[in-house]
Structure 1
Amino acid sequence: MTEKVKMIQSRMRAAQDRQAKYANIRRRPLIFDKGDIDFLKISPFRGTVRFGKKGKLSPRFIGPYEILERVGDLAYRLALPPALSGVHDVFHVSMLRKYHPDPSHVLPPDEWNRHGVEEATWELEDKMRQKYPELFK
């Protein structure tokens, strides 16, 4: 009986070692400095309530926000805007993603005006007038 228990324990230990090896390969150390600019990961369900984002196409990350300070080993305090005053401003390192500025991601404002009136919405004007009469005064 004890031999079977030892055999099961050794197999479990081997399986655990394999999983740990795989997890450690994929693990990356995340260290941020004061003043870094980072994105904040939001949960699709909790994010709908706390961050005002909802729907299937809601973003997984919001921001960018500046890191104000390091709190402990794995937490950081962010400079959140007043609109998020109800959200606690300290987040675990796993909730943050480094922001890498890229000028090619910024669109000039005039590029948004290069479509015709017909392309501006996929809803019919009559339905828009019924739904949102205040917009057509």
Structure 2
Amino acid sequence: MTNEKIELIRARLKAAQDRQKAYADKRRRPIEFQVGDYAAYRLELPPTLDGIHNTLHVSQLRKCLADEAAFVPLDDIELDEGLNYIERPIAIKDVKVKNLRNKAIRQVLVQWQHRKGSELTWEAEDEMGRHYPFLFGT
């Protein structure tokens, strides 16, 4: 009886490992190197971004599927002291009330400047009013 349970556990572990391997293999891509390759890329960054590390390992590269219309000019990008990208809301496009168990929360549909992915997101109205009062004309 104990041997049967051990075999069952081994079979289930093997199945889980095979499943994980299949998932990993789908995302894996062959990388080939030539003699003398250092497997790293050095970026040529403008002086305004000289605080950013300009070398990255080849494993960090991904195929770019961006569309040309999504191009953001470097001059339009704002960075804070920590070199984090600053997103700015442009306008409120819609308002809705989300009913929770004990209260109703007003939400606004915000259009963001240069937002990666969707440029419209639902945000809490009081949070947006506190941080961006200009959106509400105050």
* TMscore range, shorter length: 0.3 to 0.5
Higher percent of residues as helix: 1
The two structures have a TM-score, normalised by structure 1, of 0.35
The two structures have a TM-score, normalised by structure 2, of 0.35
Task: Identify which of structures 1 and 2 has the higher relative contact order when contacts are C-alpha pairs closer than 8 Å and 6+ apart.
Answer: 1
Higher percent of residues as strand: 2
